[in-house]
Amino acid sequence: MASSPSKELLEKIETLQNLMLACATGAGSDNKAYRELRDDLLQIPIVKEALPRFVRTCGDLSQFWHFIKSKKPELSTYASRREFIWAAFRPLLMGVDDDTEVEHQAFFAKGAEHDAYVHIRTILQTAKQDVFIIDPYMDSSIFQVLATLSPGQVRVKLLTSKAPADFALEAQKFVKQHSGFTVEPRRTKDFHDRFIILDEAVCYLLGASIKDAGNKGFTIVQLSELSIIKSVIDHANKSWSSANPVL
């Protein structure tokens, strides 16, 4: 069974931390592995922002070694260097190692509308900053599930192709009533499949439109291959930039 994106991401961050610990304490220096891991993590916007500043500024372990050496006398011992690196990585590792349990693959039989709704709601509630929903066929039901999120918790982007005539009006009324929300719908015909993208890092593929979830048998699958996730997110962001605003 493939590992979840969160688990794979956690392992990459921990491995990068261990490489820097080894370099800072004279236990070895694997520049190739460091550069590859660093490049991968910098491709994920929310991770890039949360990485320690010295990771973003040190392109290789030689630069990191000079950075550590410049921190005398406070980082003159191996113990002080280990604690410094652990403390710098701790917030990011705690954010990735989330206790929220969401099934990475789920099948819903015909008639399981409630189970499907609860699953989608749970997925959305795991977002920390951004929710990006791509669904060619949206209706007012999208606002029912968005209403379960905490106001001000996230920025919501909706990308659709076909929507009811009063969709823009309902979006306006929703934002007016839920003043803590930022919701922006746009139209495009660039997508056939349905996706939920969270924090520009986690991506779910839906086999049915959210409004029809459970009417017929369908699946929800969390994508696990980081290169595919990046491709989906890049295409989504490109489509978003050229899509027509609804509001």
Residue-wise pLDDT tens digits, 168-189: 888 888 888 877 778 889 999 9
3-state secondary structure of 202: strand
Mean pLDDT across the stretch 81-96? 83
Contact (Cβ atoms closer than 8 angstroms) between residue 159 and residue 136: no
Query: Would you kindly state where each structural domain of the chain is located, as residue ranges?
Result: 5-96, 105-245
| Joined tokens for residue 38 | 């660093």
Mean pLDDT across the stretch 78-90? 90
The answer to whether residue 3 scores a pLDDT higher than 80 is no
3-state secondary structure of 203: strand
Mean pLDDT across the stretch 55-64? 95
Percentages helix, strand, coil for the chain (3-state, rounded to 5) are 50, 15, 35
What kind of fold does domain 105-245 have according to CATH?
A: Endonuclease; Chain A (3.30.870)
Alpha helices by DSSP H, listed for the chain, are: 5-24, 31-42, 45-50, 53-57, 61-69, 78-96, 113-124, 141-146, 167-177, 226-242
Contact (Cβ atoms closer than 8 angstroms) between residue 28 and residue 45: no
CA distance 247 to 245: 6
The answer to whether residue 34 scores a pLDDT higher than 90 is yes
Residue-wise pLDDT tens digits, 219-230: 999 987 777 888
Instruction: Look at 17-21, 92-96, 235-239 and tell me which has the smallest mean pLDDT.
Output: 92-96
The pLDDT confidence band at residue 97, using thresholds 50, 70 and 90, is low
| Joined tokens for residue 199 | 């924090």
Most confident of 41-50, 64-73, 171-180: 64-73
With 0.75 as the threshold, say if the pTM is over it. no
Residue 26 zone, left/alpha/beta (φ > 0; ψ -120 to 50; rest)? left
